[in-house]
Amino acid sequence: EAPGRSHNIPLDVQGTAFQEAVWRELRKIPEGETRSYADVAAAIGKPKAVRAVGSANGANNVAVLIPCHRVVRSDGTMGGYAYGLEIKQLLLEKEIK
């Protein structure tokens, strides 16, 4: 991808080891795609930690650089978003276009 994409920006964000693992995984989700909380939990080797993935998403303080808006529920519904579901939907729609 082109330089300047959010996953190429070096970030120095600090959290627990679990949060940082979740945030690294979120940065791997391609623009315009989504993953479920369960997908992220499995990808970091903690398949039973689905709720903890949601908590780590909520603790993300750089929401556009670490794209927590790309994580949805397993049934495809939006789930939560610190800035409101309308903004989450708008961010996803913008990426798909």
Question: Is-contact 65 6, C-beta < 8 A?
Answer: yes
d(CA 29, CA 36) in angstroms, rounded, equals: 11
28 is a catalytic site residue = no
63, 68, 71, 72: which is the annotated catalytic residue?
Answer: 68
Residues identified as active-site: 68
